[in-house]
């Protein structure tokens, strides 16, 4: 599914830093970067025509973070306009791998690798990603 080192899909989502995202030092609290990454992956799925609630209702699947590795490089601050990128680098039968980064202008503030598992929503066990979703990924 991957052609050489080229990703299948890539996506960018703008996010503004609100006061509630920051800590007492005025910088984005470390766990909020994970929220930003999650929003970009959700918006990427939505942009490709797939709503997570519909996938659960129609196919009985949910996507969960199985593992992640994050590097915090520079701080984001209140009112910064950030760009959160998501690049799908691997797609398997029941999992996806994303490389993501958060930038402010030319500066990379945070980057990470996220392994996402597709689960049966009721049994909470691995389940194959529906073919129509794979078709969207491959196009």
The domain over range 9-138 is classified in CATH as 3.10.129.10: yes
Residues 6+ apart with CB under 8 A from 67: 114, 115
Per-residue pLDDT at 8: 58
Which of 5, 13, 10, 43 lies closest to 137 in space, CA to CA? 10
CB-CB contact of 87 with 10 (8 Å): yes
Per-residue pLDDT at 135: 81
Task: Split the chain (139 residues) into runs of 10 and give each run's mean pLDDT.
Answer: 54 97 94 98 92 95 98 98 96 95 98 98 96 79
Question: How many CA atoms does the CB half-sphere of 38 hold within 13 Å?
Answer: 12
Say which of 5, 21, 23, 106 is annotated catalytic: 23
CB-CB contact of 100 with 108 (8 Å): no
What residues does each domain of the chain span?
A: 9-138
Per-residue pLDDT at 139: 66
H helix intervals, the chain: 30-47, 52-59, 131-138
5 is catalytic: no
The per-residue pLDDT for range 34-52, each reduced to its tens digit, is: 999 999 999 999 998 999 9
Per-residue pLDDT at 118: 97
Per-residue pLDDT at 55: 95
């Amino acid at each position: 599914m991957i052609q050489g080192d080229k990703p299948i899909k890539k996506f960018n989502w703008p996010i503004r830093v609100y006061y509630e995202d920051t800590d007492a030092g005025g910088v984005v609290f470390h766990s909020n970067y994970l929220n930003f990454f999650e929003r970009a992956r959700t918006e990427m799925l939505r942009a490709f025509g797939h709503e997570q609630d519909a996938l659960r209702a129609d196919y009985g699947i949910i996507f969960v973070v199985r593992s992640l590795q994050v590097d915090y490089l520079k701080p984001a601050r209140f009112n910064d306009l950030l760009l959160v990128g998501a690049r799908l680098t691997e797609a398997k039968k029941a999992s996806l791998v994303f490389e993501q980064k958060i930038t402010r202008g030319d500066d990379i503030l945070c980057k990470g690798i996220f392994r996402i598992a597709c689960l049966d929503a009721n049994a909470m066990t691995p389940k194959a990603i529906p073919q129509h979703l794979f078709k969207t990924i491959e196009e």
